[in-house]
Amino acid sequence: MLNDICGERGESIVKLRLTEVQHDGRPLFRPHFFGDKWPDLDFFVRLEGGGPQTSFFLVQVRSTRRGTTRDGRLRVAFKREAVIRLASFAVPVYFIGVDAIEERAYIVALADRTTGFSSITTAFPLDAVNRQALWEEVRDFWIRQDTFSKSVFFDPTWVRG
């Protein structure tokens, strides 16, 4: 039950962060919650305020009360099978980890990811600067209509040597 509450709290924090108003007084995104119907996806998120009509991205949210590792990574896990399923979508897919205690959300792209993970970088907080970068990245993807294999939100520790 406590895990369910933490998860619901994380989803609420993500929706709040995605719908925060920018300098022009409007939000950049309109998130639609999937509920329990999609086990690996939490949100379908449409872009607001320009870009192609079909501009959207998908989000999986994981929330934790365990905070960060010694090296500052957020302790949120995602299984390999689920990562592979989500990475197979031909649209931008992001993973948002939430520190439910601090009410902070961090975003990473799942582009070309093929393994699970137990933590993510905190280099990309879901703040005003990164919301704008996210909006531009998704808009550009839909303008190009190319594959989603590169992102400014790629966790640098995921690079294979």
- pLDDT tens sequence across 105-120: 999 998 777 788 889 9
Angle at the Cα of 59 (from 101 to 37), degrees rounded to 5?
Answer: 100
Kindly state the helix (H) or strand (E) to which residue 106 belongs, with its residue range.
strand 104-109
Residue 61 forms beta bridges with which residues?
96
pLDDT of residue 36: 72
- The answer to whether 116 touches 79, Cβ cutoff 8 Å, is yes
- pTM of the predicted model over 0.85: yes
User: Confidence band (pLDDT; 50, 70, 90) for 161?
Assistant: very low
Ranges 20-29, 46-55, 94-103, 120-129: which has the least confidence: 46-55
Residue labelled with tokens 């040597």: 161
What pLDDT is attached to residue 112? 72
Structural domains of the chain ordered from first start = 2-158 (3.40.1350.10)
User: Is a pLDDT exceeding 50 seen at residue 160?
Assistant: no
